[in-house]
Amino acid sequence: MSNQRLLNAKYNALGALGYTGLLKTRELQYWQDIADGTITFPNVDFTGDADIGGTLSVDVIAESTTDAGVTIDSTLLKNGKVIVANGAGTTPTVTFSGSTELGFYNKSNTQIGVTSGGAEVMTLGSTLSVNTIGEFTADSGVTVDSVLLKDGGAVGTGVLAFGAGSAAAPTFAPGNTNLGMYRSAVNTLGWSVGGVQTMTLVSGATLTQLALLGAASSESQLAIDNTGSGDSTVRFRINGSTVGTLGVDRSDSNKLKLAPSIIGTNDYVVFNPSSLSATFGGDIIAQGSLNLSSPTELTISSGVITVTKSYHTVDTEADAATDDLETINGGSDGDTLVLRANNGGRTIVVKDNVGNLALSGDFSLDNIQDTITLINIGGNVWAELSRSDNGA
């Protein structure tokens, strides 16, 4: 204490201490260091304002009025709490010296806002609202309640629950707000393109159904585009077992086939797109009528006609009163053919053993109710199965 002395003064003597403002006190006790002139106040009890031009260093500042706290530059210190102004998204109240646009503010009575770059990025309350959650460790993703969100996908055993969405605003919209997937109805998943529902997947107690929906003037299409070398197939299964396969056999001129399992093996039906024909591997059982469709007219030319279907009417060349039919072109082995007269006023004479016809004798179609039925027996030969002279 050789370099210090204890001083006492009343407030009216404080002007000598060098303060520029008003300092009020009942009693002031301080230590003055004789060597450097420093004054230390072990305990100061202010009853009013203190305006100090320099730096004030104290151990404890206590409130003067009970339960009023102490305010330092608009920041209230009270009952162990720091109470600041509400702030805003662009001007957070709790911030940092390195970036005053990064920090926290009072968004509402129940929410704390978090800002970065002067813009709100997250809200803390009963519900966490955030613009972006980035992974902490590179390529590790973010796990939310056992669901791993990583690289744009979801992995795990948990469940992601979202709003229902709509065709115009699907819940899952990859890069386009009106294109994606949404909840169309109870147990129904919907897909939309351009804000219009195009497909639904329905699952119920007795039915799982995939429906393709097109607009009134458009086509509903399910396209399977195979750019590889294998077949394009759709398999139908019951309880895990394949009961039928529909596909294109690329090893057989791209024919469309229906098979029990693998196309090309015991095919049920083979559709040939080049000949517009279908070959059945088993019996054809018609529950209703087997219709040959309406006949088309053929006109004899030099004793010859060319068939294009199983049922035709035949007329004479140049509408002559009578004409001979000697040769029938077209058809293949196993085809059947029904012919009848096109005009009851003109006679078609189907000739036996002339050209490529094998009949039980000549037959005249002189009434529109007369018919003759033939079968192609190979080698471009048509053999008679039956004839019906039905007309008068």
The count of structural domains within the chain is 5
Q: Is residue 93 part of a domain?
A: yes
Q: Between these two residues, 173 and 388, which has the higher pLDDT value?
A: 388
Same domain, 345 and 378: yes
**DSSP assignments along 92-145, one per residue:** -SEEETTEEEEEEEEEETTEEEEEETTEEEEEESSS-EES----SSTT--EEET
For the residues 194-209, what does the mean pLDDT come to? 78
Buried b (16+ CB within 10 A) or exposed e, 6-45: eeeeeeeeeeeeeeeeebebeebebebeeeeeeeeeeebe
**What distance in Å separates the CA atoms of residue 93 and residue 99, rounded to the nearest whole number?**
12
Are 341 and 366 in contact by the 8 Å Cβ rule? The answer is yes
The band of 33, judged by pLDDT with boundaries at 50, 70 and 90, is: low
Same domain, 350 and 309: yes
Same domain, 303 and 341: yes
* Predicted local confidence at residue 20, as pLDDT: 41
| Residue-range definition of the domain harbouring residue 266 | 232-280
Same domain, 93 and 54: no
Q: What percent of the chain has pLDDT over 70?
A: 79
**DSSP assignments along 59-94, one per residue:** S----SSTTT-EEETTEEEETTEEE-----SSS-SE
For the residues 235-250, what does the mean pLDDT come to? 88
Q: What percent of the chain has pLDDT over 90?
A: 28
Same domain, 73 and 89: no
Residue 350 has pLDDT above 50, yes or no: yes
Q: What 3-state DSSP class applies to 340?
A: strand
Residue 27 has pLDDT above 50, yes or no: no
Q: Is residue 73 part of a domain?
A: yes
Q: Is residue 135 part of a domain?
A: no
Residue 1 has pLDDT above 70, yes or no: no
Please name the residue that has the structure tokens 């520029």. 20
Q: Is residue 288 part of a domain?
A: no
Residue 9 has pLDDT above 70, yes or no: no
**What distance in Å separates the CA atoms of residue 220 and residue 212, rounded to the nearest whole number?**
6
Q: Is residue 145 part of a domain?
A: no
Residue 12 has pLDDT above 50, yes or no: no
Half-sphere exposure of 383 (CA within 13 A, CB side): 7
Phi, psi for residue 197 in degrees, rounded to 5: -65, 125
Same domain, 122 and 97: yes
Same domain, 15 and 71: yes
Q: Between these two residues, 269 and 157, which has the higher pLDDT value?
A: 269
Q: Between these two residues, 48 and 152, which has the higher pLDDT value?
A: 152
Q: Between these two residues, 159 and 341, which has the higher pLDDT value?
A: 341
Q: What 3-state DSSP class applies to 354?
A: coil
Same domain, 26 and 64: yes
Token pair of 347 as six digits: 């006679």
The band of 309, judged by pLDDT with boundaries at 50, 70 and 90, is: very high
Residue 283 has pLDDT above 50, yes or no: yes
Same domain, 71 and 90: no
Residue 386 has pLDDT above 90, yes or no: yes
The band of 246, judged by pLDDT with boundaries at 50, 70 and 90, is: very high
Domain finish residue from 56, 77, 98? 77
Q: Is residue 289 part of a domain?
A: no
Please name the residue that has the structure tokens 């072109």. 329
For the residues 205-212, what does the mean pLDDT come to? 68
Same domain, 302 and 380: yes
pLDDT in tens, 67-109: 888 887 778 888 888 888 888 888 888 888 888 888 888 888 8
Same domain, 121 and 68: no
For the residues 28-37, what does the mean pLDDT come to? 50
Q: Is residue 212 part of a domain?
A: yes
For the residues 238-250, what does the mean pLDDT come to? 88
For the residues 135-162, what does the mean pLDDT come to? 74
Same domain, 72 and 88: no
pTM of the model as a whole: 0.46
Q: Is residue 202 part of a domain?
A: yes
